[in-house]
A and B are shown apart, each in its own frame.
Chain A
Amino acid sequence: MENIMLGFANVFQPNNLLVCIGGLFVGILFGALPGFSATMAVAIFVPFTYVMEPGAALLLLSALYCGGVFGGSIPAVLVGIPGTPASAPTALEGKALVKKGEAGRALNLVTMASCFGGFVSSVALLVCAPLLAKIAKMVGQPEQMFVAIFGLSVVVMLSQENLFKGLMVAIISLLLATFGQDPVEGFPRFTFGFSQLTGGFSVVPVLIGLFSLPEVFKMLEDPLGKMAESGKVGSLKLKLTDITHNIVNAVRSTIIGVCVGIIPAAGPDIAAFLCYNEAKKASKEPEKFGNGSPEGIVAAEAGNNGVTGGSLIPLLTLGIPGSAPAAIFLGAMIIHGVRPGPTLFTQHAETVYTMIIGFALINLLMYFVGMLFCKCGSLILVIPKSILATVIVVLAVVGTFATNKNMFDVFVMFGAGIIGYLMLRNDFPTSPVALALLLGTNMEKSMSLTRTMYEGELYMVFSRPLAAALAAFTIFSFVFPLVKMARERKKKAAQSTEQRGE
């Protein structure tokens, strides 16, 4: 309780409040620009946090993350282009409401539902994370090994469209994570004669390059174009029934969102579609879905913002980043000396509670900042791509330089950007790179120490109940998506055979 009060006191300091509001502005802007994302916002702004107190730094990143997820819904409503995949159901309903001249009402619904989902998810984070951390305290080296492997199983879920390429990217990225001194003996490996590589690749420059430059290169394909053309926003007023009819819907969707968020790799997009479907099933007017249903908007938005707090639960307690933004969060936390894991809630209680309480406040502030953006939403989308591309390159270069204050990292960032663009163009997923680089060193260290602990008799690991349970969980998390994919393929094949027969 004392830590929670301390968190409240920290969050309400004027500087931290400014950080939250500033972060929300930038995050929403990034989310609102099609092609940009919450991940890109968090990646680019990590270097800006270096001189901040860890608590303030995490508040800024949280505001960018929440703002980015919400911001994607503004173009979804105004122009029917989802800023992020999670806003696709909102785009469907929003577009229909815009046609009826109710763009303002749709935007208000989006903002309210997003804030509600995000706020409840932060309460879930506050309640669940310390409980899970107590269980996580029983974790030793063997368990850590399985936790790292489990974290990597996220790759399987993130790469369902091209599993082989996803796994290949993960394995090669794990190999890249071995560059530099080995974590146990300290012998430098694969340095190619560069002294800068003795400590391995600095993760933040790689992530900045990987998640920002490819979008710039994509913009270059049509530099003269604006992001989109949009109509007028109009009145932002809501009907009373918009609120009264949607309370149960919002609560249900948020709970689904939080649960989806806790599962690694099941991000806001899955939550949005799941909640939208459930709302349609439960609705008294399911025929309105697809034709401008407020219920559809509320469900999708409460669901995808519910994920934000939920996804931080495994990150804070077990150090498993369940998504690309969470992976960058992890990198930033490590830089600030706040290593997620079982001891986080005892060793860095003040910082972590500042972040969690701040997370709740950010979601409340998001309503006011969000409404401001909704009013001038159509203006954001007319910024020429040429300006955006140039500004992003400069921010990425300067931000990367600030990481370790050397130009080598800037060249690494640029190289990562080019590789990221080539990967995107050839259907190689980029998220596994972030996961593998962050989990790689830990995995090697825990594997090596476990081997030493059991003097080569690795099967003895399974005599530890928690390790055995984690191993079973890990195997399940690798196998389940594969079985699911095989079933879906079989189903599709059967359907096509039936169609041919007809």
Chain B
Amino acid sequence: MKKSFADMIIGIVLLAFLTSLAVQVPAIPEVSRGYPLTLLVISYLMTGYLLVSSIVKQKKEEKQETKILEQVKIIVPYCLMIVVYLFLMGKIGYIASTVLFMVASLLYLKLKNKIVLAVLSVVLTIILYFVFTNFLTVILPRGSWFNIAF
């Protein structure tokens, strides 16, 4: 993949993001508008420059071999696993979701020693639970479906 291609994609995404902000500007009272508007205009100009320069570069640049596809294949499922973990935290509570996530993560990342896998998942989860609830007085998420608590 050409390196400037990534910059081009980033430029397009940023333009879309800046536009989503620009449509909200008229709703802001004039006294609160000046500073963010100035930053918005500068951001547009810089993003525009990034986009144009990456298009120009792309024509001249040669293709480079990258392992991006292999990386995507590993990282995207892992990110999905984190999203599921965060979603489950509100449904089944901190303890069950964290033990599940740790087991799934260690299996996904191919940790061979199953004893370490089991012990680490349970022990770390419980240690963190006690540290946060008893010492830091933070009530960790409770599940709405069911909840394990001590």
List residues of A whose CB falls within 8 A of some B CB. 48, 50-51, 164-165, 167-168, 171-172, 174-175, 178, 182, 184-185, 187, 189-190, 192, 217, 220-221, 223-224, 384-387, 389-391, 393-395, 397-398, 401-402, 405, 407, 410-411, 414, 418, 421-422, 425-426, 428, 444, 447-448
In the complex, the 10 A-B pairs of residues with the closest C-beta atoms, listed nearest first: A386-B109, A223-B109, A182-B32, A178-B36, A390-B105, A175-B39, A187-B32, A402-B138, A168-B46, A386-B111
Name the A residues within 8 Å of B42 (CB-CB).
Answer: 171
Task: Kindly state whether residue B56 has any CB partner on chain A within 8 Å.
Answer: no
Residues of A within 8 A of B90 (CB): 407
Whole-angstrom CA separation of A167 from B43 in the bound complex: 10
Give bound CA distance, A461 to B107, whole Å. 62
Residues of chain B contacted by A175 (CB below 8 angstroms): 21, 36, 39-40, 43
Q: Contact residue range for chain B?
A: 35 or more
Asked if A414 meets B86 with Cβ closer than 8 Å, knowing A171-B39, A171-B42, A189-B28, the reply is yes
Kindly provide the distance from the CB of B76 to the nearest chain A CB, expressed in whole angstroms. 10
Give Cα A448 to B90, complex, Å: 41
Q: Known interface pairs A223-B110, A394-B128, A426-B6. Does A411 touch B86 (Cβ–Cβ under 8 Å)?
A: yes
Residue B135, interface by CB 8 Å: yes
Give the nearest-CB partner of B120 in chain A.
Answer: A387
List B5-45 residues whose CB lies under 8 Å from chain A.
6-7, 10, 14, 20-21, 24, 28-29, 31-32, 35-36, 39-40, 42-43
Q: Would you call B115 an interface residue if the criterion is a C-beta within 8 Å of the partner chain's C-beta atoms?
A: no
CB pair B47 A447 closer than 8 Å: no
Given that A394-B98, A394-B124 are known contacts, is A51 also in contact with B135, CB under 8 Å in the complex? yes
Please name all residues of chain A whose beta carbon is closer than 8 Å to the beta carbon of B125 when the two chains form the complex.
Answer: 394
Q: Which residues of A contact B75 (CB under 8 A)?
A: 217, 220-221, 421
Given A51-B135, A387-B106, A398 and B140 contact (CB-CB distance below 8 Å): yes
Chain B nearest CB from A411 CB (Å) reads 7
11 residue pairs bridging A and B, Cβ less than 8 Å apart:
A168-B47, A171-B46, A184-B31, A184-B32, A190-B21, A386-B105, A386-B106, A387-B106, A387-B116, A389-B109, A390-B101
- A171 close to B110 (CB less than 8 A): no
Closest B residue to A182 by beta carbon equals: B32
